[in-house]
Structure 1
Amino acid sequence: MKQQNLVILILVLFLSSCGMKTKEGLTENYDENKNGIIELKNFYNKTVPKDFIVRIRYNSSDNIDLFVYQPTENSEKHELLFQQWNLDINDYVPENPRSDYDKKYHGITNSFEKVKEKLNWTNETFAKIYDKLDDVNCMGITNGNPTEIEYGFKGMGMFSYLIFDENLNSELQEKHSDDCTQMFYKENVVLSYGSGAIGSLCTPEFKRNE
C-alpha cells in the first residue's frame, strides 16, 4: 500500500510540474497572436455546422479528444452524438457491440466515419484545424459564443481564452472576473481556468489586486 501511494504521489507531482503554463504566458500569447486567434475563431465557427457543438483537443497532430453534440427537435437542447479520448484520426476502429449504457452516456454513435459525414468533415479538416491552432500556440477549441480556445495545461488544469462575438461592457466584465476561474482581459477576451480531476478549482493568478 505504501508503495502504491508513493507511485500515486510521484505521478501527481509529475503532472503538476509538466506543462506549467502561466497567466503571463496566456496574455503574451494573445497579444502576439491576436489576428491569428481571431482568424481561428471565425474559421472554426464557420466550419462547424449550424446548431452543432464540437469540442476538440489535440494531443498530437493526429491524436485527439473529440466531443460532438448535435441538435435535438427542441433546437435549444443538444444530445451527445460522439465522444472519444485519444482518437487516432488515421487509424480508429470503434469497439462493438455497444451497451445501452455506452449509447446513453458515451454518445449515440462510436463511428468516427458517421461523425465526419454529419459534420461534412474529412481528415484534411482536422489537419487544417490543427495547423491553425499550432500557429497560435494553442491545442483545443470549442465553437460558440464565446468560443473557447485552449492554450495549455497548468498542472491538471487548463488555461483558455473565451472569445466573445462583441466587446464586453462593464457589467459583463465584472461578471466574468471572479478571482477564481475567469478574468476579463480586454475587449472581447476573458481568460479562463478549468481545473482537472484533482487540485484547486481556482487559480491564484486570477486574483485581482484590491
Structure 2
Amino acid sequence: MIHDASSSLHLLGSSHQVADLAARERISLPPEAIDDFYLGLEGLPGLHECLILNTCNRTEIYGASGTNFAPESLHDYLSDFRKIEPEFLRRHSYLRSGEKVVKHLFEVASGIDSQMVGETEILGQVKKAYEDALKRKVSGKVLNQLFQKGFQAAKWARTNTGISKGQVNLGNVLCDLARRIFGRVSTCRLLVVGAGEVAE
C-alpha cells in the first residue's frame, strides 16, 4: 500500500478505453504545450504534486493533494486549457481518486490497460513521464512512491505472468498478419498509410 497517502491521489485521464481517436486527439496535449500546462497545474489550489502521461493512446494527469483540493478542478483546467466543451471532456474521460488511482497506474504500467494487452512500450512511456516530472520538480514523496510501486508491479507482472509473451507490438503483429495473408512480403507491393512508429 502507498502509506495512507492514497486518499490524496487523483487522476484525470482519457484513453482508448473511453474515447475514440478523434476525441483523444482533441484532448491530448501537444508536446509544445506541456510546459504551459504544467505551470497551470502548479497553480491549482491544494495540488502539491503532479505528473502528465501523454501518449498516442492516453492523456493522464496524476496529482497528489491536500484535503482542500477539488479533483474536479483538474477537469475544469484541462477543459479550459484545450478549449474543449466540459461535457465533451466528461464523456471522454475518467476522474479517479484514492486507491483507484493506484490500481489504474499498476494496470497501465504493466500493459493490462493497453490496446494490445501486455505491450511493453507503455512502461517506457510511464518511466519517461516520471523522469520528466522529477526534472521539473513537480513530483514529490507521494507520486514518487506511487510510481516506484507501479514500476515494481509492472516488473512483477511481466516476470510472473504470461502477459508479455507472444507478439505484443502492433508493428510485429501487422507484419505477421501480412506474412500469413501474402506469404513472402518481400515480393509484394504494400502501401502503408501513416507517419507513426508503426508505419516505420
Q: Normalising by structure 1, report the TM-score.
A: 0.27
Q: Which has the higher helix share?
A: 2
Q: Which has the higher strand share?
A: 1
> Which has the bigger relative contact order, CA under 8 A and spacing at least 6?
2
